[in-house]
Structure 1
Amino acid sequence: MAGQTEICKTSANADSQLQGREQYLNEIIVELDPIVEAESKHGPVFRRELFDVAYATYRSIEDNHSKASDIVIDRRGNKFLREKITLLDIYGKERKVRIQADGKCIKYNGQPCMSKRVWAYKCIQSLGQAYNCGEDLCPFNFGVHIIQTEAKDCFKVEDMTAKAGIWAEEWKKSEIYSRLTAFLEEHAGKRMQRVDKILCFGLGCFRTELGRETKRPYVQHLAACLVRDIIARQQGGETPKIYAQDPNYGPTGIAYIKAQFDMETLDDPEGFKALDGNTFVLCVAPNVPVRQIAFGMTHEFGGPAGLFCNSIQSEGLECNGKSCDIRSGSFTPYSLCESSPALWKYKQESTWMEYDDGSEEDCFGDVGVYLKQRG
């Protein structure tokens, strides 16, 4: 009975802590005004100056593997690097930040797994939420992600081969294919900024289940090829190379993407590092704020040469002054790739088209293609 009583006490304490955490979160007001003001004074939160400092720190950590003596453990058993790292906040000020150590081996769903260091990106909405939490306002940071120690391929090439031809034909007959083709043929190589490379983010890998969850990323990769082919034909010169960054690509996926689409895969954050004013960016519902990062890293050029993404419908300030409600499932910010005032301005200055294929193939949803005009 003593043991059972102890368990009940522990459970009650956990419930109390959870309720306290919910109450705390529900009291957080998202403050976007100071974040937008910082952008107007210092530049986009995802500007290259901040990225370069984070990237140098990241490379130093990865190149000098941590020893046991370099790690400290907190009361909950979490491991952190002993030495704090230096990052820049949205004001360009240095911040000393403690980050978790990676390499911790655990069992997850019965499978051997380990923690792996990953980049963490805070969009203006997340920074607005962090503003009242006393957190450092560093848009580029690091966390850990649990991965299987023995990576397994999520699909078989022979399964894909049977469906790929059908999907390609359906893609060519779709309304969005026709609209995208006509739009690019009208503007590429003319009013549009020259494109030297195409960078894809979060298009997704393929699955053994050959339904929508596999057709969707397959068609999105085909869309990148269509963009490349039309731009190459319209602007002349060397054909733009396509690069794709997605942590879900496995060994088979990487080989398949290279053979099927002639794309080179990149590890995070190498795709972001490669961004410049002559880059065409393609991303559809990614789980990081690609649109804000893409503009921030290229703002000195007026943004990327082109952006094929979820449609830009506003300045992204809808959550300003609002709080979280985790019990109702609504948590601010509301999506993982929000818009921003800079993106809204980019749209107004671009040549663009928008289309929602949700009632048709639903391989993209409500998306837009935005082309920067030549200066």
Structure 2
Amino acid sequence: MAMPSPSALHSDSAEEKEDIDDDDFHDVEEDMDDDDICDVEIWPATILSTDPLIHEDSAQVATKLRAIFDSGKPFFTRDAISSIVQSFDKALGQGQEQRLDGTVVVSIPDLVGNVIEFRLGTDTRHLQRRGRTSDTELAITEPCLHYLTIEMLLDNLDLCQFGVEPVCAYLPMMVYFRTEQRNKFTKERVPLWPLSTHDEVAASFQAIRQRWLATEHCAQLTSTLNQHAREIPPDIKKVVAFACSSMAISDPPSLRQTSASQHALVLYMRDFLSSRQDKAHDEIKCYAQDPIYEDVDKSVLGEVGIKVLSDPRGFLEVDEMSVVVSIAPNVPVRHIVMDITRPAIMIWDRVKPYGRLTTDPVSSRVMDIIRREYLELEFPYDREDFGHLCIYVRKK
């Protein structure tokens, strides 16, 4: 991609692997590069705030950013994300005619009190010239967010990298559009990869789910959770998943296996907690966010009780009575979640200082919160489908 995907939730294999031995790589991530499996390209929204606003040099901006971060000020807040979603919903029409024509404006506060405005519309003439073939064009589908952590903002201080403008030097969220390839004449979407039918995906998912539930890996997970049952917070109401990928893409076959196993984990956590809390399964809601989901994924997942949400709505479902499942995302899920709330349980990549290259960096803030407030449990190692995960349970 020309720019880092704002809400694609798969990480490049090299990025997430600093300080991990070669033998310990997530093979799944090596097969799940967004550039290889996803035809979602992103396009920046127009910034209406053209005044310089930022008058410091890069060294001064860096000093101020570090001071803001060290003060504990959240980069991502529920109120800011909720306000953005309201603007997105207004532009998308909520069942009425869409208004991605620039008439809706999104206002996002930065870290120093400025409000940056984005217009939810773009010049489609530029998009039409970006088709992958002479018969295709790029078309806008929906707005989304690009999230920037302290590491990313510091890396962008040359104010040129990825097209960053000076006005955005302190801005942790920016508006982009997702796009898709369409036939120039019929206007129908042109997938870049073969997609399976609903029945094929549903049958495959159920088979993979049942196989995984019968594995030693799942048995070890059950044993770990049962051993620490007293530490698990009561009355958990949600399981929110990020970056579990698509089961509809039929090539490579390993992608469906991995995606189905990860979605099986989401349902397993729902069922385990329902049994422990003496609740019906549908009393614990399941949500999933990943821009790569196809309509087939949404349908199949909906049938088994997982509601698919578009970015950034998944983050608004995360609260203190939720479980978060996040596996090698391409956005800073850990930083966003830790700024917004303290979930009851997080199942995600082991918290350790991978370095600033990773797309889901572990900042000192995230590490401090985890060490102070969470109990770390081992998630059984599975090279193919899960890699190096840990279970983090909020202390009582």
TM-score (norm 2): 0.69
Q: Percent identity?
A: 18
Distance 1:187 1:346 in 2: 20
CA contact (8 A) 1:84 1:98 kept: yes
Residue of structure 2 in register with 1:147 after alignment: 180
Distance 1:345 1:226 in 2: 29
Distance 2:296 2:395 in 1: 38
Question: What runs of 5+ residues in structure 1 fail to find an aligned partner?
Answer: 1-27, 71-80, 320-333
What amino acid is the match of 1:89? Answer: D
Change (3 A) 1:165 1:199: closer
Question: What runs of 5+ residues in structure 2 fail to find an aligned partner?
Answer: 1-57, 160-165, 183-187
Residue of structure 2 in register with 1:353 after alignment: 377
What amino acid is the match of 1:275? Answer: V
Instruction: Say which SS state the counterpart of residue 156 (structure 2) adopts.
Output: helix
Residue of structure 2 in register with 1:284 after alignment: 327
Change (3 A) 1:102 1:205: farther
Instruction: Say which SS state the counterpart of residue 225 (structure 1) adopts.
Output: helix
Residue of structure 1 in register with 2:131 after alignment: 108
What amino acid is the match of 2:221? Answer: L
The CA deviation string for residues 98-117 of structure 1, in whole angstroms up to 9 with x for no partner, is 45724725252233430342
Distance 2:174 2:337 in 1: 17
Instruction: Say which SS state the counterpart of residue 108 (structure 1) adopts.
Output: coil
Residue of structure 1 in register with 2:351 after alignment: 312
The CA deviation string for residues 196-242 of structure 1, in whole angstroms up to 9 with x for no partner, is 11111121111223621110010000001111111111123453111
Change (3 A) 1:35 1:171: farther
Number of aligned residues: 310
1:353 CA drift (Å): 1.9
Residue of structure 2 in register with 1:232 after alignment: 274
1:35 CA drift (Å): 3.6
Residue of structure 2 in register with 1:6 after alignment: none
Do structure 1's residue 272 and structure 2's residue 315 form an aligned pair?
A: yes
Distance 2:91 2:279 in 1: 40
CA contact (8 A) 2:323 2:346 kept: yes
1:94 CA drift (Å): 2.3
1:128 CA drift (Å): 1.9
Change (3 A) 1:130 1:309: same
CA contact (8 A) 1:122 1:138 kept: yes
Do structure 1's residue 256 and structure 2's residue 281 form an aligned pair?
A: no
CA contact (8 A) 1:42 1:90 kept: no
172-181 vs 159-168, which moves further: 159-168
- Specify which of 385, 389, 395 is matched with residue 363 of structure 1: 385
Change (3 A) 1:304 1:37: farther
Do structure 1's residue 86 and structure 2's residue 107 form an aligned pair?
A: yes
The CA deviation string for residues 152-200 of structure 1, in whole angstroms up to 9 with x for no partner, is 5822234345644553354235443233212222334654353111111
Distance 1:180 1:36 in 2: 39
104-113 vs 31-40, which moves further: 31-40
Distance 1:191 1:217 in 2: 26
Residue of structure 2 in register with 1:168 after alignment: 209
Change (3 A) 1:53 1:128: farther
Instruction: Say which SS state the counterpart of residue 318 (structure 2) adopts.
Output: coil
Instruction: Say which SS state the counterpart of residue 148 (structure 1) adopts.
Output: strand
Do structure 1's residue 344 and structure 2's residue 367 form an aligned pair?
A: yes
The CA deviation string for residues 96-140 of structure 1, in whole angstroms up to 9 with x for no partner, is 344572472525223343034222111222122234534332212
Change (3 A) 1:41 1:66: same
Do structure 1's residue 39 and structure 2's residue 69 form an aligned pair?
A: yes
218-227 vs 184-193, which moves further: 184-193
The CA deviation string for residues 17-44 of structure 1, in whole angstroms up to 9 with x for no partner, is xxxxxxxxxxx99x97644431343522
What amino acid is the match of 1:227? Answer: M
1:355 CA drift (Å): 4.3
Distance 1:140 1:127 in 2: 10
Matching of residues 68-217 of structure 1 within 5 Å: 85-91=106-112, 93-99=113-119, 101-102=121-122, 104=124, 106=128, 108-110=131-133, 111-116=136-141, 117-133=143-159, 134=166, 135-149=168-182, 150-151=188-189, 154-160=195-201, 163-164=204-205, 166-188=207-229, 190-192=231-233, 194-206=235-247, 207-209=249-251, 211-217=253-259
1:337 CA drift (Å): 1.3
CA contact (8 A) 1:99 1:143 kept: no
Do structure 1's residue 221 and structure 2's residue 263 form an aligned pair?
A: yes
1:367 CA drift (Å): 1.0
CA contact (8 A) 2:100 2:120 kept: no
Structure scoring higher RCO (CA < 8 A, sep ≥ 6) equals 2
Q: RMSD of the alignment, in Å?
A: 3.1
Instruction: Say which SS state the counterpart of residue 336 (structure 1) adopts.
Output: coil
CA contact (8 A) 1:176 1:355 kept: no
Structure number with larger C-alpha Rg: 1
Instruction: Say which SS state the counterpart of residue 192 (structure 1) adopts.
Output: coil
CA contact (8 A) 1:289 1:336 kept: yes
